[in-house]
Structure 1
């Protein structure tokens, strides 16, 4: 039967039950709970048991929020690449490594830094060299945090200290070098020297930074004199190129000349040995002939004569004909003799051709020479 039908007594289903049969009122339950929580924070309910409805709920919420914030602030997770410095009441307490760490809230303060990351910082400035020239130098400094305690506590601003140390070191090294050295072959040397000097400054300051690399990214003359400087640089490059070419040529010529000199020395030594050996052989041969000559002078003399004649006639265009029952007769090649005489006459007359009288004259000269040779041969045979 519905609550509003006849006989239902008009009872509201959402209203409280009469007596103690109905459920407790929700508002009443909330009020009682708030009164109890307020009692924890010193808030007393007024007479009659009713709640004052003051700061009880707000205090609870604030307390819970503060508790959550304190727990959240007390727990720290340190990454594998990080380290942390803990200050307790402003004084150094300890250094945390990687892992889950806990600190006292409102007492400890934590500073975390990445100690494995290689950081870089660039510097660019115009500087005066030793030979009073201005150069514009750009360097980049790569560094890491090696001591986090010194990095956090010793220096107020380590990055600013690094900038000042780098600029001071660079000015010192550039000011001690000439412009040509800075712009050309001395760049690597300059970068290494600047790195050493920067590290010495950082160690003296106690920054906790370690410089891993210094790169000299650029070194050039100011823009106002850049064109003139490029001309000077080109001229110096040409000088180096020509010097290298000359050295290459010298390195090729000198060994060749030394080789030729050595070859001539070897040839001279060989000729010397040959002449000495030939002289020694001739002397030995003469001594042997002398011994044989003393034993048989006639035979040795005849043999020497025959050998000499054979050697001489072998080198001249002469023909010997042995006629039986008569003396040996010698025939000379008249054509060659005439040719030699003609050549000499032509040379004497300046290249003009010979006439018949000149030819007859040459013929008579040849005949006279033959007769003289025959007569000399007869005398030689008679003397023997």
Structure 2
């Protein structure tokens, strides 16, 4: 201490104790000014600090929160104002699960009373450095406990099959929101960036049996798909056949109706002609009917008037002659 006092006296323009000459040292005006400037320079140098772009600072006035310093050059008058620089944009990762920490944190009970082994990651950063610094004693332990509790709550409301097969993305989104809401209720100043699923499997002790069950379920699904495809083919064929029968029935109905309507029209026309000339019409109908009946068969015509006294009926085989002539 005495050595320091001696150096200060020399700086202020006085003489040290050594080299003879006693009495109080004399301070010159220039020495005083120089000393004040040096002290001010040291004070300013100690009061200015730089914050990097990925950081923010928390300034304290006599131990009480004052303000948050932004990236760039900041001023904190020493010694009444102190500060602590916090990396706010750096992403921190918490790994939770059996494969990560060697415990049973990843073993969780599902809503259908099955056990699932889950490994997941919670990636977070800081969005309020003051809250992060003052409201949490151990931030990493806090976010691990909150994440594990939130995951157990969500898994307890889900069944095993959706967790293993389809709903991991939905669970990750739900988990992120639940963790964030819990951290916000603590005024933690922490922000959950994302949640990553590493795995979701049955416990190691039963994973082989579970895979056998999965293989059986896949085989069942395959057979169900084959049965559905066969049913679709059969139903489609039956529908096509039914449609064809309906079309044929409609065609037959239309044909019968048309024929009946045609017969009715012809009968009406004949009736009109009959009313005009009954005898002529009757004879014409008789001749047309005989022509229709006898037109396609062999005929033998006998003329009783040509029969002589001998009783021999004259016979002329016209049909045989016509056929032989045609040959």
For normalisation by structure 2, the TM-score amounts to: 0.73
Is residue 2:252 matched to residue 1:271?
A: yes
* Structure 2 SS opposite 1:196: helix
Change (3 A) 1:313 1:146: farther
Specify the SS of the correspondent of 1:93: strand
1:111 is matched with: 84
1:38 matched residue in structure 2: 10
Distance 1:172 1:320 in 2: 105
Aligned to 2:221: 240
Shift of 1:95: 0.8
Instruction: Show the 5 A alignment for 1:72-83.
Output: 72-83=45-56
- CA deviations over 1:80-110 (Å, ceiling 9, x no partner): 2222111121111011112111212233232
Distance 1:236-1:67 versus aligned 2 partners, 3 A rule? farther
Residue aligning to 1:122: 95
Long gaps (5+) in structure 2? 1-5, 23-35, 98-105, 307-314
Partner-residue secondary structure (3-state), 1:144: strand
Identify which of 261, 276, 295 aligns with 1:295. 276
Q: What are the equivalent positions in structure 2 for 1:124-163 lying under 5 Å apart?
A: 124=97, 125-163=106-144
Q: Highest relative contact order (Cα 8 Å, sep 6+), 1 or 2? A: 2
Count of matched residue positions in the alignment of Structure 1 and Structure 2: 286
Computed over aligned residues only, the root mean square deviation of the Cα atoms, in angstroms, reads 3.8
Deviations 1:201-259 (A, max 9, x none): 11111111222322222111111111101001111222223333333444444344334
Counterpart secondary structure, 1:131:
coil
Normalising by structure 1, we get a TM-score of 0.63
Which 5+ residue runs of structure 1 have no aligned equivalent? Answer: 1-33, 51-62, 335-384
SS at structure 2 position matched to 1:130: coil
2:263 aligned to 262, 270, 282, which one? 282
Superposed CA offset, 1:281-337 (max 9, x none) = 1112112112223433454344434544555567x5x57799xx9978445999xxx
The whole-number CA distance in structure 2 between the counterparts of 1:69 and 1:240 is 79
Larger of the two Rg values belongs to structure: 1
Contact 1:147-1:208 at 8 Å conserved across structures: yes
Distance change >3 Å, CA 97–CA 332, structure 1 → 2: farther
Equivalent residue of 1:142, what SS? strand
Contact kept? 2:9, 2:16, Cα under 8 Å: no
Distance (whole Å) between structure 2 residues aligned to residue 98 and residue 166 of structure 1: 31
CA distance in 1, matches of 2:57, 2:289: 117
Can you list the C-alpha shifts for 1:20-75, whole angstroms capped at 9, x where unaligned? xxxxxxxxxxxxxx98953739864357449xxxxxxxxxxxx9999887655433
The equivalent residue for 1:230 is 211
Return the alpha-carbon distance in structure 2 between the equivalents of residues 120 and 149 of structure 1: 21
